[in-house]
Amino acid sequence: MALDALALLGERAAISGFSRRGAVSCGGSARLLPSADGWLAVSLPRQSDLEAVPAWLGVAVRDEDPWAAVADAVRQRDGSAVVERARLLGLAVAQLGEDRPGVDDQSFGTYRPRSIEGALVVDLSSLWAGPLCTQLLSLAGARVVKVESTGRPDGARDGPAAFFDLLNVGKESVALDFADARDRETLRRLVSRADIVVEGSRRRALEQVGVVAAAVLVEERAPALWLSITGHGRSADRVAFGDDAAVAGGLVVNDGAGPCFCADAVADPLTGLVAAERCAAMLAAGERAVVDLPMAAVAADFAGPTLAAAPDAVVAEPRARPVLGRGPALGEHTAAVLAELV
């Protein structure tokens, strides 16, 4: 399977028509802002995020331009205090370079070594990093079952159809009601049949539906790998998106006036690529483990000396692979998959 890894980093930008915008993220929902003691990345992609700004910073904001008030308030405050209050309110805010490289594996013994080809992957993730990982595993021959909540499906379904299709073509879709006790038991049984589980939720969210990685991996029939993709790690109760997670890892460029976003939510696709490689390597080695893969730590692995953005530099246009088919409709394969595996 030959892929242009560098091209994979810009696929959403190519499909959505995004381009670099300096201290504004490619998608427009994040900003790099100076604080009293450094720089912060602030992501406000949801209406609920904007509504939380007055409680976060104690300032009123205008609906038509919330960023002016946010920038003025952040400029006068210490970054760590701003980040901590944002964490309490579920906002994605990070200090430049606050996270360090490193992946934490919790070992659960050994597993029968095997290749990715024919492996069963249960994908509980959404949006970009996790779905890219499982799509790459699918291209390598794995069977991928995408599991979504009927009440809260993958948010990528609401974005450009071509991007959802690109990341999910070839997967089987199972939809379950996570509020229903029988469906929660079905989910637990399905997870226990997998060779690899990929998820991108904060630990508390999965525990609320009765799926606990450490409990699943000690069962007689259990996955080899539990891959957890989060913004800052499983033990950190923080929201993060690809743009602010990249900044937390120090992965930025500089235009002379300050740091800039180097690519579209780059921590997402970087983590997807690293996750797929790690799954293949650990499955082949016969390691059973929970792999804690924070996007910010992955970004830190790829960060180096901050590069200056030359004013006359020619920036390559983002490109995407051709879309080879449609992604599955929500729950399209639920009956068939459950009849076979549960």
Instruction: Quote the CA–CA distance of 137 and 265 in Å, as a whole number.
Output: 21
pLDDT at position 134? 98
pLDDT at position 200? 92
What is each CA distance from 316 to 6, 61, 132, 263, 320, in whole angstroms?
11, 36, 22, 11, 13
pLDDT at position 307? 62
Strands 196-199 and 259-261: unpaired
Q: What DSSP state is assigned to residue 192?
A: H
Residue whose entry in the numeric block shows the structure tokens 């201290």:
23
Q: What does the block give as tokens for 131? A: 């779905």
Residue whose entry in the numeric block shows the structure tokens 């009927």:
150
pLDDT at position 79? 97
- At residue 227, φ and ψ (nearest 5 deg) are -100, 115
pLDDT at position 311? 66
pLDDT at position 278? 94
Q: Which residues, in sequence order, are CB contacts of 152 under 8 Å at separation 6+?
A: none
pLDDT at position 103? 78
Instruction: Quote the CA–CA distance of 103 and 22 in Å, as a whole number.
Output: 29
Residues of the chain with CATH 3.40.50.10540: 104-233+274-294+320-341
- Helix (H) or strand (E) segment spanning residue 174: strand 172-176
Strands 287-294 and 104-110: antiparallel
Q: Which CATH architecture has domain 104-233+274-294+320-341?
A: 3-Layer(aba) Sandwich (3.40)
pLDDT at position 218? 87
Q: What is the pLDDT along the chain (342 residues), one digit of tens a residue?
A: 578 888 899 999 999 999 989 999 999 999 999 999 999 999 999 999 999 999 999 998 877 788 999 999 999 999 999 999 999 999 999 999 999 887 778 899 888 899 999 999 999 999 999 999 999 999 999 999 999 999 999 999 999 999 999 999 999 999 999 999 999 999 999 999 999 999 998 877 888 888 888 888 888 788 999 999 999 998 888 999 999 999 999 999 988 889 999 999 999 999 999 999 999 999 999 989 999 999 999 999 999 876 666 667 677 789 999 999 999 999 999 999 999 998
The one-letter amino acid at 56: W
- Helix (H) or strand (E) segment spanning residue 146: strand 143-149
